[in-house]
Structure 1
């Protein structure tokens, strides 16, 4: 019981440090690792070693993937490729189902681009579509936000799910995480869409518009990018690395479906996440414009590194926290206790949801929860490849439950959509709750089939 009490206090420390004390999550997780080491009576001369090993181990496996993936996202954002993705989906799907169209746009754009940035980029397009098709702006806003949120939470190369996968030992099996993540993300996006459509016919009072002509604003945004890239050029940096990683996963299956010859060896090499994302980065170079592409490339690399740095530090600190927990008998004790209660796949969901709701950051919730549950997987019956993948999905479902006032994405959605705070709680916060519940139910059903 003392082991559980210490764990509860460590989680409380992380929450209070990040919310009340406004401490950066990196320092909060690192502090929790040190406090946990002493509280669990890990030999003092081994605490720093465990922390350093955990930090280096997690970043050694996944740090390059996070950095390269972030740089690709910056290129897509800065070159207007995200707008091309959106306009391509509109051409394919038409304008008969506006909320479904904007949801799918969000679903695709947020695979490489952070959901906050994606919403800001697509906001004027969303408002223009809402005016053209005379549909509720609140419904369109929630549909876009939940579409973005779905892939942001479940699908690598977004940093949160990548870090969770690394903590659970899935660095070499990201293809399976991507495939399952795309499915679970689609279900949760449709759950968010279902909630968004509740507002289609409602006349909701919004805050005053700052710029009334959204059609002109969208055109102005379009012109600011110069000539937009083609659909092929815009989609390639996303599709290529995902396809290579998935092929690499298929090659690695024990049944060796593609054999063991030269072709299989080449696919295995290019299917490694770092190599696959480097291929995506090379494909993204074609999007760069200007007289000096080298200078432009250096700028986006610097910006990508700046964006990736805090995520890398949080991920590394999460690895340190996990390494300390693994050095204690906590995993065995909790695993045996929870397995006897039959909690199983719901346990990581509950922990991630509690952390997300309390401190606001999805990435922190995913990193901290995955580090915490990693030692318990054997006792929870989740110590297989699919068990680990579904654990990542369960953590992701918890990590989106719920977005409210302590989450930056909540304020991006509410302010750019001109929703009053009360409206945002009814629309956006409940939508993320709906998504989280749909996500964990989907994961539970998958666990009944595959575990």
Structure 2
């Protein structure tokens, strides 16, 4: 019990220091990581080493993606491509349900793309739609984040659900896992969308640290801003830097799918390489360069890169510090304690949900929660009455629902959403963290109802 109490106190310290003391989140998270190491009685020499490895590990995975995505976003914004994207989406889908539009886009994109990469890639589109439709950027950000999060935890080929399915003996039934995952994911995405709508009419000035982009700056009229760019890029030119990388990542996922549908020759190697987020975004950046205007395009490109790096720097630091905090928690006995305590409850599908939710909340990574819980639960399926094909599928779904619950300070996705949207930390907890709680509970209720029908 003391282990859980320490975690709650650490989270409370982060919230208090960033809101009341106005301490920068980077320092608040590093301080929490250091305090956590002492509180959990880690060996002194291991504390700083764990913080360093956690900081570097998360940036090694998402750091270059954040920088490249930010540079592409700057080019899209300053070339007028973001305005073209907003106008095109509104023309195709209408403007009655802006947050629903954003949620659907996130739901589809995150099937092949990691949720944090997807948020970075789609950030410019989200800002442009918020400005064009004159709705809260917080509502649009939560709608996008929850749409991305839904398929991230339920639908292969995302690594977490694939690993969970493999641990539970469903390697040959991934099609069934995908079908059920898309159903449960759509329900949780709907729950996230409804939560996002709570912020539609709220004043962004009270919820944000600053405007996330010049499109959303105070006093900027969208029509005047549009006229300022002169001739805007075509829809194809505007969307290509975003959707070509997404397509490449999709193709890479298909190539790496179990069973090797595209073989293992040159086509497989090429798509597997270009399907890596960093390679895909480099292609997107090359395409974005065609949007540059003016006579001295080389200098113009240099200026955009400098601006993008400057914008990405604080996001990188905070995301890395969040990774350090999560790494310290992973190195403690907290995860083992929660897993052993909850696995003995014997409450059917709710047991894997609770174990996964406890691990997710404690250490921050949805993928780790999915993999660890599925390995722990696999030998217990028969006593739990889940030792059937559909029982195993629904167990994967229950674990996925737990792996959403909840995203907070030790989760890199929380900081990606908060920092790219420029939310205050208190706003991020009210909007994003609570949204993931609503999604996780809704997902588990959906899985339980399905079990009444299918088991």
Give the TM-score of the pair, scaled to structure 2: 0.65
Structure 1 residue 320: deviation in Å?
1.5
Name the structure 1 match of 2:110.
none
Give the distance between the partners of 2:24 and 2:432, measured in 1 at CA.
28
Q: Which residue of 1 aligns with 2:172?
A: none
- 1:430 Cα offset (Å): 9.1
Q: Distance in 2 between matches of 1:228 and 1:222?
A: 8
CA contact (8 A) 2:366 2:404 kept: no
Q: Is the 8 A contact 2:122 2:242 kept in 1?
A: no
Moved more, 20-29 or 374-383: 374-383
Instruction: Give distance in 2, aligned partners of 1:410 and 1:11.
Output: 16
Given the alignment, which residue of 126, 130, 145 partners 2:133? Answer: 126
1:37 aligned onto 2:37: yes
Work out the CA distance in 1 between the residues paired with 2:40 and 2:367. 17
CA distance in 2: counterparts of 1:317 and 1:298, whole angstroms: 29
Q: How many residues align?
A: 367
Q: Work out the CA distance in 2 between the residues paired with 1:392 and 1:434.
A: 13
**What is the match of residue 363 of structure 1?**
none
What is the CA-CA distance between 1:227 and the residue it aligns to?
1.2
Matches within 5 A, 1:190-201: 191=194
Query: Is the 8 Å Cα contact of residues 318 and 371 (structure 1) preserved in structure 2?
Result: no
- The answer for the alignment partner of 1:378 in structure 2 is 372
Alignment of 1:86-101 (within 5 A): 86-93=86-93, 98-100=95-97
Q: Which moved more, 1:371-380 or 1:234-243?
A: 371-380
Contact 2:357–2:405, Cα closer than 8 Å, also in 1: yes
Q: Is the 8 A contact 1:107 1:189 kept in 2?
A: no
Question: Following the alignment from structure 1 to structure 2, what is the Cα–Cα distance between the partners of residues 169 and 37?
Answer: 32
Deviation at 1:119, TM superposition (A): 6.9
1:54 aligned counterpart, secondary structure:
helix
- The answer for the alignment partner of 2:438 in structure 1 is 437
Following the alignment from structure 1 to structure 2, what is the Cα–Cα distance between the partners of residues 30 and 431? Answer: 21
Pair 440,305 (structure 1): closer, same or farther in 2 beyond 3 Å: farther
Deviations 1:314-336 (A, max 9, x none): 22112212222222211100122
2:307 aligned to which of 303, 326, 339: 303
Q: Which residue of 1 aligns with 2:330?
A: 326
Say whether the 8 Å CA contact 1:67–1:305 is kept in structure 2.
Answer: yes
Q: State the shift of 1:254 in Å.
A: 2.3
Q: Could you tell me which residue of structure 1 aligns to residue 320 of structure 2?
A: 316
Deviates more, 1:233-242 or 1:84-93: 84-93
User: For the Cα contact (< 8 Å) 2:406–2:437, is it kept in 1?
Assistant: no
Q: Which moved more, 1:63-72 or 1:117-126?
A: 117-126
Map 1:175-194 to 2 at 5 A.
187=190, 191=194
Is 1:50 paired with 2:83?
Answer: no
CA–CA separation in structure 2 for the residues paired with 1:224 and 1:285? 20
Aligned-residue CA RMSD (Å): 4.7
Does residue 274 of structure 2 align to residue 270 of structure 1?
yes
Name the stretch that deviates more: 47-56 or 260-269.
47-56
Measure how far apart 1:146 and its partner are.
3.3
2:263 — aligned with what?
259
Instruction: Give a deviation string over 1:177-216, Cα, whole Å, max 9, x none.
Output: 9x9799678635753687799x9xxxxxxxxxxxxxxxx9
Residues 397-445 of structure 1: per-residue CA shift (max 9 Å, x gap) = 9989xx99xx96589x9xxxxxxxxxxxxxxx89996786357524764
TM-score normalized by the length of structure 1: 0.66
Q: Does 1:236 align with 2:240?
A: yes
- Give secondary structure in 2 for the equivalent of 1:286: helix
Q: 1:12 maps to what in 2?
A: 12
Partner residue, 1:65: 65
List runs of 5+ in structure 2 lacking aligned partners: 107-117, 150-157, 164-176, 202-219, 379-395
320-329 vs 44-53, which moves further: 320-329
Aligned to 2:228: 224
Shift of 1:263: 0.5
| Distance change >3 Å, CA 396–CA 431, structure 1 → 2 | closer
Q: Say if 1:308 and 1:168 are closer, same or farther in 2 by CA, change over 3 A.
A: farther
Deviation, 1:313, is: 1.1
Going from structure 1 to structure 2, the CA distance change for 1:430 and 1:263 (only over 3 Å counts) comes to closer
Deviates more, 1:247-256 or 1:228-237: 247-256
Secondary structure of the residue aligned to 2:97 is helix
